[in-house]
A and B are shown apart, each in its own frame.
Chain A
Amino acid sequence: MAQHFLLVLLLPLIVSNTAHGTTTEAPTPSPAPMHTGHTMQHTMDHTGTHQPGMHHTGTHQPGMHHTGTHQPGMHHTGMDHTGTHQPGMHHTGMDHTGTHHGMGTHHPGMHHTGTHHPGMHHTGTHHHMGTHHPGMDHTGAHGDHSSTGHGSGHNTYFYFGHHEVVVLFLEWTINTVPALIGSCIGVFAIAMLYEGLKVWREMLIVRAADSSKAARSNSYSLNNITNGKSTSKLDVDIVPRAAEPSTRHRICNCMHALQSLLHIVQVLISYGLMLVFMTFNVWLCLSVALGAGAGYFAFGWRRPITVDRNEHCH
């Protein structure tokens, strides 16, 4: 059981490093034998090759992963499966989630003429791996596909990988282990800073309340001194608006404007962290969680008295 788990961890790294050479097709439980004695080659390079009417002569196999083949304007309508298209051919396991037709033109319900199979996953159809890993995403396994379009499709399960992980922006694409490590450290730092920002906002409110209280007490004493009255309990409670220093007003407004700006920043960072978590990459998710914990630990010492505010569920 332990080595199984270890294999799950190391296999993406191992597979990605080795070039995809000849992979003999394992007997798949399909009704019609498709590629008898055919050796499939995965060294498919789609870098920028805009091919309308792309031909998949003899290489279309169930289990083939198209993640990363992003070509703006790529059409599937002219796809030619010469020699391999057979009725009854299993398309289960074919994942086209990566094929985005053009950046920016988001079309839900986009058809892949005849090849769109909702709900397809790779569960158990990657036989050339040798070991059965249900639910494991092989986004990282086909490292030869260099993406030129959108991010690598939507995963719905956690995966260990470092190939073509797009984090928030297209420019932030992880392809190597050092990049993954750097991104994890960055995400960790952002999560820490987020906790720090929350504590800082509370501290600002405390400071504003203290300064306004001080200003108020100053105005009391000033008022009583100038009026020549002795300080009585009644005077302390009532605060005449005219006697208040105008600075208190200014402080309040400035403070609130600053708090609003910090609120925007806080919402921004919280949504950003949520989206990072949504990449479903285990390493990045762990970085978010651990960073939040470290930030809570580091900045929680300085947390002032609890402020009555709803801060969950942004």
Chain B
Amino acid sequence: LSQTPGKLKTPSLIFTSIYRRDFYKILGVSKSASVRDIKKAYRKLALQLHPDRNQDDPTAADKFADLGSAYEVLSDEEKRKQYDAYGEDGLKEGHHGSHNDIFSSFFGDFGFMFGGNRQGQQDRNIPRGNDIVLDLEVTLEEVYSGNFVEVVRNKPVAKEAPGKRKCNCRQEMRTTQLGPGRFQMSQEVVCDECPNIKLVNEERTLEVEIEQGVRDEMEYPFIGEGEPHIDGEPGDLRFRIKVMKHPVFERRGDDLYTNVTISLVEALVGFEMDITHLDGHKVHIVRDKITKPGARVWKKGEGLPNFDNNNIRGSLIVSFDVEFPETQLNDNQKEGVRAILKQASVQKVYNGLQGY
């Protein structure tokens, strides 16, 4: 450390790695990232960095904690302002809200399992509460650009209550001795004693991501957010995506189809036009040749992003149909049309319905 004459060096350099974390870098987003970009980044990284998934990495827990802190600060408008202005030191309060809270608002309450399998599969005898399936309607705009839906989940949670209750009730055969050598078999209902449970309603916010390119019927599960079971685990809450029909675009896989009606003049002499896409940007179309009815223009890269790889896009296929003029032509105009077009009479008769 060189001494700069006339200035004091602060000892805070020693603590750089602990208190001067770059939250934007941790999340992998730019300084101007929107809240939605931040949520999206957190969700993707949380799945990758969870300690359960990185059991042989000793720094996994720290990295995961850093990720939680980064999200906690950058997703909150006030905290983000303070952090941008003064750095991590400038944050007024310490971090509260465990990282578990943040994590479970994206994935659910009850532990964490990979590949959709529930942990404790070895013990299939644990009873489970009902699953809840919610149809979530999404627009094609949301499929194109992605979105987050916040929901408030109000659910009954099993809490301990004073006293005992009967549980695991079952039928058992009892043998009673009536006398020497004489026995009687009877059936009896036998219950265990368990701690008493009451149901209390609790509320929390969940974040559902509508990922780009998501397909109809895809599900986003939130483990443990379903209905409780008095003697076991709660079920899951699953959001089932339902993509709604769009007035302009039709989806087929990653491709989008749309139709444009042009006038007869435009069909013959050419035209230039813009189609407004799902996120507002314009797709420019120029035609200088004759456009036949049913003609198609193929715009590569203007379809939907592919769900598995957002960088791959489908195509936009534009089909044209022609609107003929309404007013009838007088004899002079008819002569003019014949003269200009110089097209011989065709009048071909054929079976159009059987593909001849």
Q: Is chain B found bound to chain A in the same assembly?
A: no
Give me the interface of A with B, judged by CB distance under 8 Å: none
Give me the interface of B with A, judged by CB distance under 8 Å: none
